[in-house]
Amino acid sequence: MNSQNGSRELPSGWAWTTLGEITFPPRVKIRADGASNLPFIGMDSIEPNGLRPIHVGRFSDMKSAASAFHEGDVLYGRLRPYLNKVWAAEYSGAASAEFIVIPKSKFISSSFLKFLLHHEKFVNYASNATSGDRPRVDLADLSEYRVALPPLDEQARIAARIDELFGEIEAGEQELEKAREALETYRRAVLKAAVTGELTKDWRQKNAPTETGAELINRILIERRAAWQKHQSPKRYEEPAGPESTNLSELPQGWAWASINQLCPVVQYGSSAKCAAEKRGVPVLRMGNIQDGTIDYSNLKYLPQNHSEFPDLLLAPGDIVFNRTNSAELVGKTAVYDGQLAPCSFASYLIRLKAVGVAPNYLSYYINSVYGRRWVAENKSQQVGQANLSGGKLKTLGIPVPPMAEQQVIVERVEAALPAAKELATAGRGSFDSTALRQSILSLAFSGQLVPRDPGEEPALVLLERLRARKFSASISEKARAAPNALRTPHRRVRNNPNLPPL
C-alpha cells in the first residue's frame, strides 16, 4: 500500500484520519430491471476530470447490475482512477459498477469528500494503487489514504468556497470559449476570402498580372521536366496529373486550378522511428505540434543527431506539414515550418510538402480553409478509432492558383488580419490552465488556507470520536446478528429494491 507524508502541522481544530475511517462501506448492487424509472450514470456520463454528469441514461436500458445511489452519496470512478471522475449525487439513481458509491454521512460533508477525492494528491495515490491495462480500485485499496480533516462546519465552508471559485473559473472558460469561437469564425472568413480572391479583389482591379496563374502552372511543369532531363533519371518521366475533381468552381480572372501533385514535387512521409522525451538530438514535430494553422514548438520529442534518415527528413523553412492521421476532425491540420527551431524533423503521421510556384503560406491557407477541410472530410478513409488521408490521395487535391504577385499580397493581408486569433490561441494553450488552477485551489483548501476558522466550532477530533463510537457499535451489532446464523448461507448483496436506507 502507498504511503503518505502526514507529519505536517495541522490547522487548529483539524485532525489526522484515514479515508477508511471517515467513510462507510459502499452501497450494495441492484439487479437489472427493465421496468425501472431510475436515472443511470455510466462511466461515460462524466468527462475526465469532471465533477458532474454531462448526460444521464436510463437504468431500464441496462442488462447488468448497478450500484444504487441516493442524494448526498459520492460516486467515485474506480476504473482508470487517473481519469478523476467524481460526483456528489443530487438525486437517487443507479450507477455503473465501475463507480464506488460512498454513502452520505453526517460525519463528513459530501461536497468536501467530493473535492478531496478530486484532488491530484488523491488521484496520484489511487493511480499508484492500480496496475494493468484496465486498472481499477476498490475502497479497501484506498482506505489508508491519510486525510487532514477539518471540523464539520469548516468542511461545509471550504466546499462552498471551492464551488464559488470553480464557478468563476468555469465562467472564465466559457467566456474564453466564446472568444475563441468568434475568432475562429473570423479566421475562417478571412481564409475563405483569401482563397476565393475576395481579399484581393481591389488589388486585382489596379494591378494586371505579368504572368497569370495558368502561365505560372505551365512554367512550373516545364521547369520540372527540364530538371528531370538534367539529372538523366533512368525512369520514364511522368507528367504530374491535374486536379481530380471535375466540379472545380469558377475562379477570379488570372487564376487557375492545379493539383498538389503539380505544385509539390515532394510529398513525403515522416519518420516512424521511436523518439525520446529527453531533450537531446533533433526535435521531431508530431500531430499535436500543429495548432491553429501554426507550429507549436512545445512538447517535442527527439531523435539522435546521427539518425539514419537524416538529412533526408530534416525540414527546411517553407516546408508544409500536413496531419494525415488522427480523429476525423483533426486530419488535415496544416502549417508551414518557419525554421524557428533548427534542425528539425517530422514524424510519420505527418506529410511534408515542398511547394514550387506557390507561396507555402497560401497553400496552407487553402488546406485549412473551409474548402480544404471539406475536401479532406470527403476523401479521408475512416478506420477504427481514427481517420487517414494518404499522400497519394493528397496529391489529387485541387488548389486555386493566383499569379505569384497576388499570392504575396494575400499572404501579407492574411498575416495582418489574424494576429489577434494567433495570440488568443497561444494564450489559451498556455497561460490559462484551468485544470492546474483548480488543483491549486484544492491544495490551498486541504492545507487550511482557503477559509477562516472558527475557534468555537467542535474540533474534528471530537467528531472522529463520535464516528469511531458509531462504527464500534455497528460492528458489535453486526457480530450479534451474525452469531445465530453462522451456519446459514451468506446473504447476497444484490437486491431488487434500490431504495436502500441511508447510513
Which residue reads 481514427 in cell numbers?
Answer: 386
Q: Tell me, what's the pLDDT at 485?
A: 54
CA–CA–CA angle 459, 464, 465 (5° rounding): 100
Q: Is residue 12 pLDDT above 70, yes or no?
A: yes
Q: Tell me, what's the pLDDT at 20?
A: 93
Q: Count CB neighbours of 491 within 10 A.
A: 8
Q: Is the dihedral of CA 300, 306, 312, 316 positive or negative?
A: positive
pLDDT tens-digit series, residues 320-332: 999 999 888 889 9
- The full 3-state SS of 219-288, as one line of letters, equals HHHHHHHHHHHHHCCCCCCCCCCCCCCCCCCCCCCCCEEEEHHHHCCEEEECECCCCECCCCCEEEECHH
- Fold annotation for 15-151+453-495: Adenine-n6-DNA-methyltransferase TaqI; Chain A, domain 2 (3.90.220)
- What phi, psi does 245 have (nearest 5°)? -70, 140
Q: Are 155 and 163 in contact (CB under 8 A)?
A: no
Q: Tell me, what's the pLDDT at 134?
A: 84
pLDDT interval class at 95 (50, 70, 90):
very high
Q: Which residues contact 47 (CB under 8 A, 6 or more apart)?
A: 54, 85
Write down the CATH superfamily of domain 218-402: DNA methylase specificity domains (3.90.220.20)
**15-151+453-495 and 218-402 share one CATH topology?**
yes
User: In 18-151, which residue ranges form alpha helices assigned H by DSSP?
Assistant: 19-22, 110-118, 120-128, 139-142
This prediction has a pTM of 0.63
Q: Tell me, what's the pLDDT at 227?
A: 83
How far apart are the C-alpha atoms of 399 and 33, rounded to whole Å? 58
* Window from 38-47, 137-146, 423-432, 466-475 with minimum mean pLDDT: 423-432
Q: Is residue 309 pLDDT above 70, yes or no?
A: yes
Query: Which grid coordinates belong to 332?
Result: 488535415
- The residue with greater pLDDT, 108 or 7, is 108
Q: Tell me, what's the pLDDT at 499?
A: 37
pLDDT interval class at 422 (50, 70, 90):
low
How far apart are the C-alpha atoms of 355 and 318, rounded to whole Å? 8
Q: Is residue 6 pLDDT above 60, yes or no?
A: no
pLDDT interval class at 386 (50, 70, 90):
confident
Q: Percentage of residues in the chain with pLDDT exceeding 90?
A: 69
- The residue with greater pLDDT, 363 or 246, is 363
How far apart are the C-alpha atoms of 337 and 11, rounded to whole Å? 54
* Window from 37-46, 244-253, 276-285, 304-313 with minimum mean pLDDT: 244-253
Mean pLDDT of 479-503: 48
Which residue reads 478509432 in cell numbers?
Answer: 385
Mean residue pLDDT of the chain comes to 88
Q: Is residue 402 pLDDT above 80, yes or no?
A: yes
If we measure between CA atoms, which residue out of 372, 392, 310 comes closest to residue 346? 310
Q: Is residue 432 pLDDT above 90, yes or no?
A: no
Q: Is the dihedral of CA 491, 495, 501, 502 positive or negative?
A: positive
Q: Is residue 245 pLDDT above 70, yes or no?
A: no
Name residue 212's amino acid.
T
* Window from 192-196, 205-209, 228-232, 448-452 with minimum mean pLDDT: 228-232
If we measure between CA atoms, which residue out of 68, 163, 54 comes closest to residue 445? 163
Q: Is residue 127 pLDDT above 50, yes or no?
A: yes
Domain coordinates of the chain in residue numbers? Answer: 15-151+453-495, 218-402
pLDDT interval class at 236 (50, 70, 90):
confident
Q: Are 26 and 100 in contact (CB under 8 A)?
A: yes
pLDDT interval class at 368 (50, 70, 90):
very high
Strands 345-346 and 282-285: parallel
- The full 3-state SS of 462-478, as one line of letters, equals HHHHHHHHHHHHHHHHH
pLDDT tens-digit series, residues 131-147: 777 888 988 899 999 99
Q: Tell me, what's the pLDDT at 105?
A: 92
How far apart are the C-alpha atoms of 201 and 275, rounded to whole Å? 47
Give me the DSSP letters along 16-32.
Answer: EEEHHHHSPPPPPEE--
Q: Tell me, what's the pLDDT at 131?
A: 79
Judging by beta carbons within 10 Å of its beta carbon (0-12, 13-18, 19+), is residue 59 exposed, middle or buried? Answer: buried
